[in-house]
Amino acid sequence: MESIRDLLRRLFEEVKAENANMSLDEILYEVYERANLGEKENFDKVRALILNANDINEYEYYTKEVNPELKKYVEEKVFPEYDKNDKAHGIIHIREVIRRAFALRETLGLDLDTDMVYAIAACHDLGKYIDHETHEKIAGDRFIKDENMKRFFTDEQRVMIKEAIEDHRSSFADTPRSDYGKLISSADRNTRIEIVFIRSFFVAKSRTPEMDMEDYLDFTFKRLSKRYGEENPENMFFEDETYRVFLQDMRQLLKNEVEFKNRYCEVNHIQSRKNKVCDEKGETAYLR
């Protein structure tokens, strides 16, 4: 009998052979559909199994064409800076935005420079710990003042990267000045309900640690209902199937407040709703 690992490996090779122009994200979704492992096995879980079965490291896959010297500099000098941010905007989030930026670029066939996309995604939240409200300006300023980046980009490219970083915030009222800004703004959107819950909880631990959990759950339900409601869609510039499925699932969950709160507590391993936010550890696996 064929094991799940062998099944996922075989389906991956079949889909890739049949669809030469498919992006990795599109292949993963098609394999998930064909595998039909049951309703309990959601896409995120099966997606991880497919990648593991085929020995694919997404970060390495998507950044394989990035200048090795740029990657080395960013990983050694830029990434450690994210230890200063709250856990919702740490290195795990940054690597996810890098992944999403390249996945969108590949899926939508965007003709954008690989090194520039990498630098924008890697630097977009620098200085979040200094000031949340103006962090995009801080990050853009830190990038343009980094003399080492002159080794990798022309002055014109550096200005475009700075502007894209400044334009990335989802709450930004105006349209980004370039497709690079539109891409990073889109890649910065969450595409998994679990990650929305985990990141929002770590933001709360940083900003409202003394709030009662019951009050925080009420606040979070109302905030996310407004953010993801059909009457108030996010300003998504580059949209793919991954985002559309996430949005549909989130809106469905938000129709049931009790289920929403129960799932939020389950994901974040909340011990008691009578505790304050600061009394709960949250999903510590996300910190790794």
**Structure letter (DSSP) for residue 212:** B
Q: How far apart are the C-alpha atoms of 275 and 212, rounded to whole Å?
A: 6
pLDDT (tens digit per residue) in 249-270: 899 999 999 999 999 999 999 9
pLDDT given at position 40: 61
Q: How far apart are the C-alpha atoms of 10 and 31, rounded to whole Å?
A: 9
Q: How far apart are the C-alpha atoms of 166 and 181, rounded to whole Å?
A: 8
Phi, psi of 247 (to 5 degrees): -60, -40
pLDDT given at position 121: 97
Look at residue 48 and tell me whether its pLDDT is greater than 70: yes
pLDDT given at position 172: 55
- Dig out the tokens for 169 from the structure: 């915030």
pLDDT given at position 236: 86
| CB atoms near residue 213 (< 10 Å) | 23
**Structure letter (DSSP) for residue 78:** I
Q: How far apart are the C-alpha atoms of 256 and 213, rounded to whole Å?
A: 18
Higher per-residue confidence, 116 vs 228: 116
- Mean pLDDT across 60-89: 94
Rounded alpha-carbon distances, angstroms, from residue 143 to 126, 149, 166, 177, 255: 9, 8, 10, 17, 42
Look at residue 39 and tell me whether its pLDDT is greater than 70: no
Look at residue 274 and tell me whether its pLDDT is greater than 70: yes
Q: How far apart are the C-alpha atoms of 243 and 247, rounded to whole Å?
A: 6
* Mean pLDDT lowest among 85-89, 105-109, 268-272: 85-89
Exposed, middle or buried by CB within 10 Å (0-12, 13-18, 19+), for 284? exposed
